[in-house]
Each structure stands twice: as C-alpha cells, then as structure tokens.
C-alpha cells in the first residue's frame, strides 16, 4: 500500500477508456473528515484542474481527489474548466461530499478536452471500487509515459505517511509534470498541512529535473485525517515532518529514475555558494543543461560543461556569483579541478549514477539536486509523443 498506507484512506484505479489501454482513472478519499493543502505549477499556462482545485481549496477542506491520465485538460479554455467542474460535481454526488471538497488532477496531452462521456460513467466504477488496498491500482491509473508506478510509505509508532506520484518528462521546478497525492493519519489543524508541505516539496520535488521544462498541470496534494488519534506534541510534529520528507524524497527520486530515456542518475551537490538560493540556482542550471546531461549519457567526465553551466546560472537579473579560481569540482569522488586548477585524473564513469560535487568556496550556501541524463530514447519518445 502507498497512498492508503495511512489509516482511514481509500483509493481505486480503474479503466474508463481515456487512454488506448490500461487503467486511467484514480480516486483517493478520506473515510473521515480531513484537512489538506496543495501546491501547484508556477507555469503561467495552468490547466483547468489546477484552476478549479485552487478555487476549491479557498472554499473548503479537501476530502477526495480525482485523477485521470490520457488527457491534460490544459489550454482548453472555459470549456475545460466546465468539464473539470462537471467531473468534481459527479464525484461529489457519488461520494456525498460538497463539490468544493473535491480536488482534480489530470495528465496527458495538452490541448485535449476531457472525454466526459467516458470519465463520468467511470467515476461510478471508481467510487464503488474504493478500498483500503486500492493504492497500487490508483498509482498505475495515473501513469502516462511512466514505465512503472511510483509509491512510497513510512511509519513510526502511532502514525503513517503514504503517497503516490507520476512523472517521466516535462520535469523541472517549479514544480514538474508530475502529480502526487500524499496522505497521513497524523492530526493536523486547518492551515497546517501547507506549513508542513511547502518546505518538504521545496527540498524534494523542487530539486529534480529531467528536461528543464515546467508543466501546466503539476500538483502535490497532502491530506491529513487524524485517524491515528496520536497525541500531538513537538516531538511528534518533528517526526511527522521527517516521515513526510522521506516519502516525498523517495517519490521524487523514483520520478527521476523513471525519466523518459533514463540511463544515468545525476546527483548534483553544490556547496560553498554565496547563499542557499544561489546554490539552488547553480544546481538547477547544471541539472537542466542538455550538454551536461548528454555527457552523462555518454559517461564522459566533461568537467568544462559543468563549469559552463555553473557560471551561467540565472540569478537576480544576472548570474549567480562564481569565482573560477576558487572552484573545486569532482566526479564520482575524483577531483578534476582544485581551486580552479585542472587535475590530471580520470574519474570512473561507467556506473548507473554520476555524482557531481561542486564547491564554490564563497560561503555557506549548499543544496542537492537529482537529474536524469539525456539519451537518444528521450528524443525519440518526445519526437513521436502525439503521433
């Protein structure tokens, strides 16, 4: 179990025909009253489910999430919003909830309307299939070009956190073309879920990159129903934050490792930056550089490409601070540059991962990033995505 690992959560995944094959409609709900929050894409082009879900969150606490694959319902105008509202309305009727208590997620091709003739009848099947063991079916139902479902859970004495996600391309903060639903039976008050979720997302889902493209649909939702009935105290709050971080980090890593055309995991550690914000900017620039990613695919320790990317990281209207004479750079533990001077060394690059460690020697700013390589298969998949 993943998204149903916490007490009091039900899920289902069924086939309604929105995709040519496989499960394509998921439903997650809390059996008891829940509080929740969601974080959304910052892309200016926002899909109808994002627009409608934002509105619903301003009106009520979320109790259920409807997720469909096969169609993004993005760039579909007013009709797209009406379709999203119709979906929420039917789910609310079936689950005996208010329409504003329903959140929506869609993933698939942009510019295509929801197939309501398939989706609305499918909701009846999804509602009747809700079960405490339905998390795995739900995780499979939200897949698009994913090759495997993404699930994670973590527990301690008294409460649990579980989650599911999808994502394989158009991955880059903030956020990415990814959907994630995380649930917990830890007791939270209205307004608190976002306080816990936002910093965790910043350190997990907002620290991954596949291709540098920010999606129109990405959404991360947290639902908390307090079904564990555990005592609320400072120590338990810290433990909840740790488990939430563990689940989100695991889901984020699964997304990168299932990236379209993935062959090499890039682990990018930047330290010694002038500030944490500048460290993030530099790590993101390295993680999204096609040249760095192509070199990783070829197992080529081309350190010049890393320096190029680090020195051109957009920051505050210009570029992040970097002094080439203070930079130390290593690939897989082998230094190739020390205080700006090249070291005649050959790093081992044959394995399934490449660890890039960059010390800027300027301050205390540091961060870590995960990224995938750029392979021939990624180009093929995206050259033929709609054809």
- What would the pLDDT profile of 110-153 be if each residue is shown by its tens digit? 888 999 999 999 999 999 999 999 999 999 999 988 899 999 99
pLDDT digits (tens, 9 = 90+) for 167-205: 865 544 443 357 999 999 999 999 999 999 999 998 998
| pTM, two decimal places | 0.88
Q: At the topology level of CATH, where does 9-255 sit?
A: 3.60.70
Where does the chain hold its CATH 3.60.70.12 domain(s)?
A: 9-255
Measured in whole angstroms, how far is the alpha carbon of residue 204 from the centre of its chain?
Answer: 8
pLDDT at 281: 95
- Going through the chain in order, the beta strands assigned E by DSSP cover 9-14, 25-30, 35-40, 64-69, 102-107, 150-156, 159-166, 179-184, 208-209, 219-224, 265-273, 314-315, 318-319, 328-331, 334-338, 341-342, 353-359, 365-372
pLDDT at 41: 84
Sign of CA dihedral 41, 45, 48, 53: positive
Residue 174: cis peptide before it, omega within 30 degrees of 0 = yes
- Active-site residues, by number, are 177
- Rounded CA-CA distance 90/84 in Å is 10
pLDDT digits (tens, 9 = 90+) for 238-266: 999 999 999 999 999 999 888 888 899 99
- Rounded CA-CA distance 362/377 in Å is 39
Measured in whole angstroms, how far is the alpha carbon of residue 149 from the centre of its chain?
Answer: 13
Secondary structure class of 129 (helix, strand, coil): coil
Q: Cβ of 147: how many Cβ atoms within 10 Å?
A: 11
pLDDT digits (tens, 9 = 90+) for 311-352: 999 999 999 999 999 999 999 999 999 999 999 898 999 989
pLDDT digits (tens, 9 = 90+) for 341-386: 999 898 999 989 999 999 999 999 999 999 999 999 888 887 876 7
- Going through 307-377 in order, the beta strands assigned E by DSSP cover 314-315, 318-319, 328-331, 334-338, 341-342, 353-359, 365-372
- Rounded CA-CA distance 270/278 in Å is 10
Q: Are strands 328-331 and 353-359 parallel, antiparallel or unpaired?
A: antiparallel
CATH class of the domain whose range is 265-383: alpha beta
Q: What are the distances in angstroms from CA 11 to CA 7, 86, 100, 182, 217?
A: 12, 21, 19, 12, 21
By C-alpha distance, which of 256, 207, 227 is closest to 8?
227
pLDDT digits (tens, 9 = 90+) for 10-57: 999 999 999 999 999 999 999 999 999 999 987 788 899 999 999 999
Q: What is the DSSP letter of 49?
A: H
Where does the chain hold its CATH 3.10.20.340 domain(s)?
A: 265-383
Q: Is 86 exposed, middle or buried (0-12, 13-18, 19+ CB in 10 A)?
A: middle
Whether 228 and 129 have beta carbons less than 8 Å apart is answered as no
């Amino acid at each position: 179990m993943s998204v149903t690992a916490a007490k009091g959560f039900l899920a289902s995944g069924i086939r309604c025909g929105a995709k040519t094959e496989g499960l394509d409609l998921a439903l997650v709900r809390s059996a008891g009253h829940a509080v929740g929050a969601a974080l959304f894409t910052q892309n200016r082009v926002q899909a109808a489910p994002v627009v409608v879900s934002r509105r619903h969150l301003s009106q009520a606490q979320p109790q259920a999430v409807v997720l469909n694959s096969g169609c993004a319902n993005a760039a579909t105008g007013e009709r797209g919003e009406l379709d999203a509202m119709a979906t929420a309305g039917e789910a609310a009727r079936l689950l005996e909830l208010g329409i504003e208590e329903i959140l929506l997620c869609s993933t698939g091709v942009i510019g295509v309307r929801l197939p309501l003739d398939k989706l609305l009848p499918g909701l009846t099947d999804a509602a009747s299939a809700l079960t405490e063991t339905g998390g795995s079916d739900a995780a499979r139902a939200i897949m698009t070009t994913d090759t495997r479902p993404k699930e994670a859970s973590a527990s301690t004495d008294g409460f649990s956190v579980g989650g599911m996600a999808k994502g394989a391309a158009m991955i880059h903060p903030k956020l990415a073309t990814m959907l994630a639903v995380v649930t917990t039976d830890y007791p939270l008050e209205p307004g608190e879920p976002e306080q816990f979720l936002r910093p965790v997302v910043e350190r997990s889902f907002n620290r991954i990159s596949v291709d540098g493209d920010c999606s129109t649909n990405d959404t991360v939702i947290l639902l908390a129903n307090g079904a564990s009935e555990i005592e609320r105290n400072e120590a338990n709050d810290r433990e909840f934050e740790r488990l939430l971080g563990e689940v989100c980090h695991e889901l984020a890593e699964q997304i990168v490792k299932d990236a379209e055309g993935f062959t090499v995991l890039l682990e990018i550690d930047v330290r010694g930056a002038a500030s944490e914000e500048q460290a993030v900017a530099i790590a993101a620039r390295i993680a999204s550089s096609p040249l760095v990613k192509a070199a990783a695919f070829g197992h080529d320790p081309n350190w010049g490409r890393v320096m190029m990317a680090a020195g051109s990281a957009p920051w505050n209207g210009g570029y992040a601070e970097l002094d080439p004479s203070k930079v130390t750079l290593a690939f897989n533990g082998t230094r190739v540059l020390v205080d700006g001077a090249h070291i005649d060394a050959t790093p081992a690059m044959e394995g399934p991962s490449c660890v890039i460690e960059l010390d800027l020697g300027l301050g205390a700013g540091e961060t870590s990033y995960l990224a995938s390589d750029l392979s021939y298969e990624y180009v093929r998949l995206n050259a033929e995505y709609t054809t």
